[in-house]
Structure 1
Amino acid sequence: MRSKLLSMVLTGALCVGMLSGCGGQTASNEGGSSASSDKPYHVTVIVKHTDGHFNKVIAGARAYDAEHDNVTVEIQSPTAATAYDEQVNMIETALGNPGIDAVVIAPQQSTSTATLVSSTDKPVVALDTDFTSDKKACFVGTGNEDAALSGGKAVAEACKALGKDKPTAVIIAGVQGDETHEARLRGYRDAIEAAGGQVLEVQYTDTMPDKAAAAMEAVIQKYPNGVDAVLSIADDMALAAAKVIKDSGNTNYADTVLCGFDGNQSAIEAVMDGSLTIDIAQMGYDMGYKAVEAAVEVLDGGKVEGFIDSGSKVVDSSNIDDYISDMKTKGLWE
């Protein structure tokens, strides 16, 4: 594969590097078309920020680039998940640049993103987080509510195995109003309540580990006798909560079931060593690949489904080896 110019926007500066082909990496293309014309296309992918999940998304987008000589993929990322002005500027610039043919956006703010794309003639694909717009070709991402529901059911079963038939739970949420985070919150809540349990607290933390740690400290202080489960909407927050529980020395939290969401290597390793009980893995690599694939399909005059589910998997001690093997195959395990 020929090398292509990719760019990552970090801390407001544009860092440019030459990246080679991805060594034969492939993504699952179920339901999608792998065929494209030979027309040269430039696709910009704007993510929310860079973390373990979006690094997998970026890897998938780059894999599509490496496999298609006529497609160049540019990656852009704000410095933080709440760097709203940065992402707005990126979206405006990409939409206004005549050299960019299609834009894939993981919106930090769905409403403002819908406004920004309202007058564009370029194909726009929503990635990871959906937004409502008649300019949007499709949404490619995890079925977040269903994924969280499946993970929440696994949490309830793990609690039941410990003799806690009606589990008490705390949910460590992300950015209030974010469609993805709210969908995960609904799935978690529904699973716990369907099991006869109770959600005691919902703590919004803006997807910041330090805020998640502070939230967990507050929970331990408020419920010194322990809670049965802590469910986080992202891995970084789950790991922060796990560290606070360990450092607290409160033995009433020794068997608290801890659940993360993303499938990042650090969280999977925590499942391996018992720091986390369950992790809900997004198929981020496939998400990035399928999003660029959908954009190219539209550029070629084809049609795509309104929602393309990139998949998810509940990972625990029973299937962790298979998940790690898949990540290694895709070059996503260090």
Structure 2
Amino acid sequence: MNIAVIPKGTTHEFWKSVHAGADSAGKELGVNILWKGPLQENDRAQQIGIVDQFVASNVSAIVLAPLDDTALQTPVRSASTKKIPVVIFDSALKGEAGKDYASLVATNNYKGGTLAGEALSKLLNGKGSVVLLRYQEGSASTQERENGFTDAIKKSPGITITVNNRYSGATVGEAKSASMQLIDKLKTADGIFCPNESSTFGMLLALRQNNLAGKVKFVGFDTSQPLLDALKKGEVNALVAQNPNKMGYESVKAAVSAARGEKVSTSIDTGVTVINPANLESSEVKTLLGGA
């Protein structure tokens, strides 16, 4: 049985953890994992092409993290027409799980954003100005995090979001450039939130270059070794962590069940945790980070 796994991109640590989880489920279930994703997390055309390619080659099931919640609907429909079950993971696709696709395996992204907002509000004692650097239009997972964050911040009337409509773009380089353009705002900001790995790291690089790292309260999303090192140094105050390994593992398990005609849960929540200096060395966080 061949299971195609299509991430949003292949460079971030997040996707490497997803790949490891998918591979371990593949070994456990005795199926082949065909891993292929676009190089850039903004290449919708390439991701659509990859889905179409796997549909044409008649794989047993497809596991997909859609780059865009609308643009990927058509290729997913093509898979359904050929009776190839699709499990959506990480980021939602417009449509209905159990009808338009088999299952959604994801972090509760709105909750993750809410936890980020609550963490930043606590760090700021409920007052100050905040910069939100959004990720990319059309990305459902990060939009939900941004919505959760802004809704949580609204509960602290003493906090104002001074930048709310700027996007980082798909790469660390683009995120650093976008952050550099906001440097005057960042110099007077009390807090910052970025909703994924590349936006968080790009912002960190811009803060370092301007001698602002550690001087402004900073909550990021996702974990990588450089971000965990920054957390230890006090340059980042909290990171909202997903469980990408579990996401890869559960997605493949659901896809294999769907391909075998078994009943699959339409929604699988893979959990979210706020990591801060106080719990970084805890056994729960160490297990989540896989010894990182």
Could you say which residue in structure 2 is the equivalent of 1:303?
Answer: 263
SS class of match (1:129): coil
2:63 — aligned with what?
Answer: 104
Distance 1:210 1:117, change over 3 A: same
Give the Cα–Cα distance (whole angstroms) in 2 for the partners of residues 276 and 264 of structure 1.
12
**Following superposition of structure 1 onto structure 2, how do residues 27-66 of structure 1 map, counting pairs within 5 Å?**
41-50=1-10, 51-66=12-27
Alignment equivalent of 1:93, drawn from 53, 57, 66? 53
Aligned equivalents of 1:255 and 1:275: distance in 2? 8
1:169 paired with 2:134, answer no
Residue of structure 1 equivalent to 2:153: 192
Give the alignment partner of residue 149 of structure 1, picking from 114, 119, 136. 114
**1:270: which partner in 2?**
230
Matched residue SS, 1:195: coil
Counterpart of 1:156 in 2: which secondary structure? helix
User: Does residue 1:115 correspond to 2:74, yes or no?
Assistant: yes
Unaligned 5+ runs, structure 1: 1-40
Q: Distance between the aligned counterparts of 1:280 and 1:222, measured in 2?
A: 24
Task: Give 1:46 shift.
Answer: 0.4
Residue in structure 1 matched with residue 217 of structure 2 by the alignment: 257
Q: Which residue matches 1:316?
A: 276
Say which one has the larger Rg. 1
User: Partner letter of residue 115 of structure 1?
Assistant: T
Distance of 1:176 and 1:261 partners within structure 2:
17
1:273 deviates by: 1.5
Contact between 1:230 and 1:256, CA under 8 Å: does it hold in 2? Answer: yes
SS of the residue corresponding to residue 136 of structure 2 reads: coil
| Matched AA of 1:107 | P
User: C-alpha deviations, 1:292-330, integer Å up to 9, x for none?
Assistant: 0111111222222221111111000111113552156x4
Alignment match, 1:80:
40
**Given the alignment of the two structures, is residue 217 of structure 1 paired with residue 180 of structure 2, yes or no?**
yes
> Which segment drifts farther, 87-96 or 293-302?
293-302
C-alpha root-mean-square deviation of aligned residues, in Å? 1.8
Are the structure 2 counterparts of residues 92 and 155 from structure 1 closer, same or farther at C-alpha, using a change threshold of 3 Å?
A: same
Report how many aligned residue pairs link the two structures: 282
1:183 is matched with which residue: 119, 122, 144?
A: 144
Is residue 5–residue 63 contact of structure 2 (8 Å, CA) maintained in 1?
yes
Contact 2:230 2:236 in 1 (8 A): yes
Q: 1:193–1:199: 8 Å Cα contact kept in structure 2?
A: no
Contact 2:40 2:171 in 1 (8 A): no
4+ runs of 1 displaced by more than 4 Å?
none
Quote the offset at 1:249 in angstroms. Answer: 3.2
Q: Could you tell me which runs of 5 or more consecutive residues in structure 2 were left unpaired when the two chains were aligned.
A: none
How many percent of aligned residue pairs carry the same amino acid?
24
Decide whether aligned partners of structure 1 residues 87 and 195 sit closer, same or farther in structure 2, where only a CA change above 3 A counts: same
The DSSP-based 3-state class of the residue aligned with 1:139 is strand
| Structure 1 position 130 matched with structure 2 position 89 | no
| CA deviation after TM superposition for structure 1 residue 66, in Å | 1.8
Matched residue, 1:235: 197
Whole-angstrom CA distance in 2 between matches of 1:299 and 1:108? 23
Q: Is the 8 A contact 1:167 1:192 kept in 2?
A: no
Report the residue type matching 1:66 in the other structure: K
The answer to whether the 8 A contact 2:14-2:224 is kept is: yes
Report if aligned partners of 1:173, 1:207 keep a CA contact under 8 Å in 2: no
Q: Label 1:293 to 1:218 Cα distance change in 2 as closer, same or farther (>3 A).
A: same
User: Using a 3 Å threshold, how does the CA distance of structure 1 residues 223 and 61 change in structure 2: closer, same or farther?
Assistant: closer
Distance 1:188 1:222 in 2: 19
8 Å CA contact retained: 2:115, 2:274: yes
**Deviation per residue, 1:150-201 (Å, 9 max, x gap):** 12101110111xxxx3231111111112111211110111122212212111
Secondary structure of 1:302's aligned partner: coil
Aligned with 2:50: secondary structure?
helix
